[in-house]
Structure 1
Amino acid sequence: MLTIGKQDASSKAAARDDQQPRVAVGEEGDLLGCAFSGNWTTRRVATVDAEMRAIERRGGHKRLALDLSQVGRMDTAGAWLIERLIEVNEKRGVEVTIQGQSKIAATLLDAVGEATGRNTDARPALAPNIVIRGLEAIGRGVYSMCDDFIAAMNILGATIGGAQMKLGRGHAINPAAIFNQIDRMGVGAIPVVSLMSLIVGAIVAQQGAYQLRYFGADIFVVDLVGVLVLRELGVLMTAIMIAGRSGSAITAEIGSMKMREEVDALKVIGLNPIGVLVFPRLVALVVALPCLTILANFAALGGGMLAADLYSGIPPAAFLDRLRAAIDLSTIFAGLIKAPFMAIIIGIIASVEGMKVGGSAESLGLHVTASVVKSIFVVIILDGLFAIFYAAIGF
């Protein structure tokens, strides 16, 4: 029995020796041949690593022939050793041929070659000229604008259709969510909007007073401040502040919910994300922005009145008398009419950018920035279109 046990142990050791990777090297003229055998797997290739490196350092041959017909099993570690030998010789200009490899070995060698870059074109692609790059940027921008427009119309249509809290069914509007957003976007913005408008109104009056003084027309600084603030600056500056303050907050809130998959969770439980997340914020903006515009107009006129008294000696009573003669209801409503449209644009752009946020913090930051920039840009464009429309109809 002891003799039989020794024979079994020796046969197992012989079997293990047959599985060890081996390399037989032969050289004839300018041809170097390497015959591989055994199992080239992660557990065994360490035994031939030094031998493979020695073969890599050999020179004086122009052709390298590799025979893999006796190779048993192979994984990526074994394929990487053989691929390293191929890559070193190809860099020297040696012609390499492989024969006898199995389908698995061929697949592994190709995959490792692509990973190391040997099977790819090493020549760098020529960059297109500046004209092609410019046209490409314009084309990509147009496609991006088209996608954003479709997403914006989807959100606007769903919002106009109602709160749509339940997918496919109407549902009562949640007043608590709307009033909460009005408090955050409207009441919370009163200090910064009032202070900004006060300073802007004072600056306009101060600069106007210096210029009109040369013509002896100091009193017309009231006309300048009144018309400019009520028709243009009041609503425009308020919309820009809301785009930077509330628009970025909407994008960040919806984007963070998108990152944490809360938007998908709303869909799973049968709620419409537009009705739950977008509708209250959009309604709150439409209500808050005109109210903030009225407050901004009063603050700007107050700043202009203060500056006119300090720099031109126009008392508040004279300022108000001239203001009543310089403006009418059309001047007041010309600015207020713009406010709801600007609020809708800010809310839709912020919501679209929030829905586009991916799964990283970098994506969130990029889309918050894009939301503010796009909102301010479109608001200014809309203000210019309103100015053109008012001039065309004589309003």
Structure 2
Amino acid sequence: MTVNVNWRGASPFRCSAPWTRNVQTGTITSAWEENQFVLAAAGRWDIASAERLGPQLRNRGPDRKGVPVCLDLSGLTALDTAGALLLDRLIRRLREQGHVVAVVGARADLCALLKDVQRAAAGVASRHQVTVEKGPAFPLADQIGRATIGIWHEMLSMLNFLGLVTVTALRLLREPQRIRLKPLFFHLEQVGLNSLPIVGLLSFLIGIVLAYQGADQLRRFGAEIYVVNLLGIGVLREIGILMTSIIVAGRSGSAFTAQIGTMKVNQEVDAMRTLGLDPVEMLVLPRMLALIIALPLVGFFANVVALAGGAVMAYAYLDINFVQFARQLQVAVSTTTLFVGLVKAPIFAAVIALVGCYQGLRVSGSAESVGLLTTRSVVVSIFLVIVLDAAFSVLFSYIGI
């Protein structure tokens, strides 16, 4: 709290100072005059006197509460920051005890210094002030509400990013010569060709598992041949492209976030903006376009390998040879079944690339942020892929496909 300092004798009540003005060493004296308590500071209040004056000021003041106090500074010959800080602490202590403090007699230069010290001390006190707030009455409801608001803001921010990417893509369609082919083919190799081994291995094993589980149930009814129907429809419509999208989200989506996030940490994205380059055009669109082209092809490869794994399992466990398997598969599925699965691939690819690049551009500049947002990118991508797959299933069922 800042005290209004009145110099040249201005005071709300009469205060006289009969003490000597020519004292060189800093002193503080006190006396009662009528109904007020008078404190007179004299001499040099500087850093040399601060150590000696500090103990003298701790208990200096009237014994009764609410007594007017007059602080006379007319006897000061010199004042520095240390002395002004002692005076400020004295004034604050007296006011906290309930006394009305009037400061009189200060020269203009000393008055200005004391005011500066008071403002600085008040700012430090406000910054270190601890505010005790009551916790929420229902902590679980508070956490759910905060999480819901956070998810809502995240959705709005991602929709804003989607609009930015869409506008940039439309601008490139009007100027196709701006499309960067070298990064496009590089990312096609990374997200497409290089992902075939892991996608193929997992798809082959998934085909074996589905064929084995289906055969174990259908054998009870003597309908082992319908394992081919179960495998063909399940893989081509749902399992093949869904598992491929999940694998790509964990492999390529996380790579997008880590790559762009590392560029943010190294300030390469800021350097692009400084050079007049658009980070969305340079970093986001090549990755998104490459994934949109590659995922349907990788998904088709996963379907073929999964069916091959199922055929091997059917031959080894059910004595269904490959010719029988192919004939029954031709009866069970059609091109519409394959189309229903692959038509979802570009949508899944766009979502995976969008989330991966969005989280990468949100990196704040630390390695910890890169790891955190990479994990979030994988989780959000897989969640959105599964939600969209469920939405497509309901839509295709509604229109009778």
TM-score by length of 2: 0.77
How far apart are 1:96 and its partner, in Å?
6.8
Which stretch shows the higher mean deviation, 60-69 or 226-235? Answer: 60-69
Q: Aligned pair 1:141/2:151, yes or no?
A: yes
Of 289-298 and 169-178, the range deviating more from structure 2:
169-178
**Greater mean deviation of Cα atoms: 64-73 or 244-253:** 64-73
2:179 pairs with one of 173, 179, 183: 173
Aligned to 1:227: 233
2:138 aligned with 1:129, yes or no?
yes
Q: Is the 8 A contact 1:197 1:234 kept in 2?
A: yes
By how many angstroms is 1:370 displaced? Answer: 2.0
Post-superposition shift, 1:321? 2.1
Say if 1:23 and 1:36, in contact at 8 Å, map to a contact too: yes
* Structure 1: unaligned runs, 5 residues or longer: 1-16
Bigger Rg over Cα: 2
Deviation of 1:26 (Å): 4.9
Distance of 1:32 and 1:180 partners within structure 2 = 85
Alpha-carbon distance in 2 for matches of 1:195, 1:178: 26
Q: Gaps spanning 5+ residues in structure 2: where?
A: 1-22, 104-110
Q: CA 1:219/1:256 → structure 2, altered by over 3 Å: closer, same or farther? A: same
Q: 1:203 aligns with which of 189, 204, 209?
A: 209
Residues 236 and 383 of structure 1 are in contact (CA less than 8 Å); yes or no, is this contact kept in structure 2?
Answer: yes
**Measured at CA, do residues 109 and 268 of structure 1 come closer, stay the same or move farther in structure 2, by a change above 3 Å?**
closer
TM-score w.r.t. length of structure 1: 0.79
Aligned to 1:48: 50
Aligned residues: 362
Give the % identical residues. 31
Query: Which whole-Å CA distance do the structure 2 matches of 1:308 and 1:80 have between them?
Result: 92
CA deviation after TM superposition for structure 1 residue 177, in Å: 1.3
- The amino acid that maps onto 1:74 is T
Map 1:1-395 onto structure 2 (within 5 A). 22=26, 24=28, 26=30, 35=41, 38=44, 44=47, 48-49=50-51, 52=54, 56=58, 67=71, 69=73, 70=76, 72-74=79-81, 79=85, 94-95=97-98, 99-100=102-103, 102-117=114-129, 122-130=131-139, 131-162=141-172, 171-395=177-401
Distance 1:320 1:48, change over 3 A: same
The alpha-carbon deviation at position 139 of structure 1 amounts to: 2.8
Do the aligned residues in 2 keep the contact of 1:229 with 1:301 (CA within 8 Å)? yes
SS in 2 for 1:271: coil
Indicate the residue corresponding to 2:107 in structure 1: none
The answer to whether the 8 A contact 2:57-2:90 is kept is: no
TM-aligned CA deviation for residue 85 of structure 1:
10
Matched residue SS, 1:24: strand
C-alpha offsets along residues 251-304 of structure 1, whole Å, 9 cap, x if unaligned?
121122223222222222222221211121111101111111011111211221
Distance 1:175 1:330 in 2: 33
> Distance in 1 between the 2:176 and 2:161 partners?
21
332 and 23 in structure 1: CA distance in 2 versus 1, 3 angstrom threshold: farther
C-alpha contact (below 8 Å) 1:66/1:99 kept by paired residues: yes
Amino acid corresponding to residue 28 of structure 2 in structure 1: A
Write the distance in 1 (CA, Å) between the matches of 2:65 and 2:40: 11
The Cα RMSD (Å) is: 3.6
Task: Give the 3 Å change call, closer, same or farther, for CA 273–218 of structure 1 in structure 2.
Answer: same
Secondary structure in 2 aligned to 1:270? Answer: coil
